[in-house]
Structure 1
Amino acid sequence: MKRFTTAAGIAAMALMAATPAHATSSKRATFGTMPDGRPVGSVTLTNAKGMSATVIAYGAALQSVIVPDRAGQKADVLLGYSDLQHYLDKGQYFGGTVGRFANRIAAGQFTLDGKRYQVPVNDGKNALHGGTQGFDKVLWQIVSVKDGATASVTLRYVSRDGDQGYPGTMTVDATYSLGENDHLTIEYVATTDKPTIANISNHSYWNLSGEGSTNGAMGHRVTIPAETYLPTDAGSIPTGAFQPVAGTVFDFRTPHVINDRVRDASDQQIAFARGYDHNWVIGKTVTRDQHMMAKVEDPASGRGFELWSNQPGLQFYSGNFLDGTTHGKADRVYRMGDAIVMEPQIFPDAPNQKGFPDARLAPGQTYRNVMTYRFTTGAGAN
């Protein structure tokens, strides 16, 4: 065997040992320009297995996720747009970071430390996903991009005191990372200078057959390890009850194809939401470590993922209000059931509900929501 005997050879060996066999790379670009002239950056993370994720600074949004199927054919499995103007005109939360308070607040009102606050009402009588100009509708700053065994991009937004009616100046970091193991992680970290409420999540719409596929997402198999879920009123505000899933169309403790029960209007909850748009109770508090929230499999393509997070609640939405008025990256019309959304978070309307996780964030505390999509290929067709 030939050996390195020179100083240069020894240095080369050290460099080889220090360099990983595979690395995930990042590529920066400009996705568009805001009406006021500010550029909107994008970062694409790509691993050696052919998986990639593109993040845009508008809304700190996940704009594309490309994953090979069981035959190695790549497809974008995320609904969204090819250009910035469509996000500005009709964002529909596609891939966006939603907050300060993801999901709904009844009547847009909550009390914090004895003071009543009113935030914008933008979903019937209720507030949804932070208000009329939530985190998904603002331009974030790209503050860090890293390559390596796990590549990442971190974006930051500073929400000033009184923004959308919320108290306190909140600084939020959103970090997207992709590893060679096909794990895509989204981490939200927030701090505040005065007491406020926080519930930040990601609103990606998934179709594992591909966003341009003729297959919708209703053929996906879903598992959710929850014993109870939160029934709602007609306005999608939780009643406060913890309803057992056993014997109902909400029981996903064993795998079920979504389409088998998503239109079962004999259940009043399905009739209210036109399908699934409910919070499953995975736990009662935010945890330090992640736990499995859901498993999704697409028998048609073989693609799947496990979703892990440290959050107690999972909002599962079956794309009930995709109405055919939107067309996406593949120039195909998005219809009801063409995608699903799974948002790890605390519970809807938590600031107004006894027995729900605490949404309060105080100075000196750090809010953290971390979620990981563990992608796989090769799921069976049966």
Structure 2
Amino acid sequence: MAAIGLLAGCAQSTDRRLEQGVVEEIAEQPFYARPDPIPAGDPGEVVRTQDLESAPAGTVAQRVMYHSTDVHGSPLLTSAVVIAPTAPWTGGGPRPVVAWGHPTTGMAPRCAPSTGVDPFDLIEGMTDLLNAGYAVAAADYPGMGVAGPDSYLVGVTEGNAVLDAVRAAGHLDGSGVTAASDVLLWGHSQGGHAVLFAAQQAAGYAPELRLVAAAAAAPATELGTLLDDDIGDVSGVSLGSYAFQTYQSVYGATTPGLALTQVLTDDGAAATAQMAQLCLIGQNEQLHALAGPLVGRYLRADPATTQPWADILRENTPGGVPITVPLFVAQGLADVLVHPAATTQFVQQQCGRGTRVVFKQVPGIGHAEIAMDVVPDVLAFFAAARAGTPPPSTC
């Protein structure tokens, strides 16, 4: 009887969240509209918020629009979700905050994880993080949610948005986050790419933040290798379209001679802009209908060896500078999207630069499962790093 009562309570809680999520989805579009004129503000300064009644029981959550900066140093507006427990933090000092970097969902505004009925669905490990007392700041990345410059695998733009989501959380009532909060970075796939850049940039871009540690699951690292590994199937063409369209739009005006047809076939270049408007989740069938016929006939030349594309890929590959906080990296050995050899190469590079790395390789685990599989390891790693006793480096 107790079990039946508990299940009934869970069902009622889930129904409440879905009902509230439907209401919020209907009303969310005005939230993402950029104000005109755009108010001035420093990076991380909040423009508007929206309370999310669909937050899980025992938490408070908000959508937030905030200021950030792109790779060219230009100001922009972007969005995130911030969620925190309502129970007081009892660990001493202000509540720590985890900046979450989400895996690829697309690059168009409607592909943002903060939109839709359940804006918390893609925060891997969220329940465990909240149960541990952390607040979570989950950036959408620029160009998603709020219209703006594209940012897919543009490391500086993504990393700035992740750090500025933490700054924004510090402006929100109820988050418990302050300028003195410990900051922890956690991301998967594209999100691993974003948090690695955030870790590299934090000291220069957001020196007031108390960055303690970073964790990445199957991160996108060596972009030339990643493209070469994946371009032979429909997923590689789909994800490649996001990257090529982004780099053309972000660097085209400042990079003489940059053109899609340098590296893509005529058919590939013609389809790329159309593919880039489709979300990986919810529009996968339409996306693959465009990408499928291009398998084997998408590339004209290798971007990793064709200028100026090679320099752009190199600029957006993380690891060019050492990461000065303890770093946890997880890799599934059955991953066929981010190949284990590429992640191992990145880890070895960081070891050579003096970064303190804990590298966990998990047999039998693929790309989609790796982040959830290592959540207990990430929580233990974060706790040890905050206590000043991070695990020994596996370098």
Does TM-score exceed 0.5, indicating one fold? no
TM-score normalized by the length of structure 1: 0.28
In our comparison, the structure showing a higher alpha carbon Rg is: 1
- Write 1 or 2 for the structure with the bigger share of helix: 2
Q: Which has the higher contact order (CA 8 A, sep 6+)?
A: 1
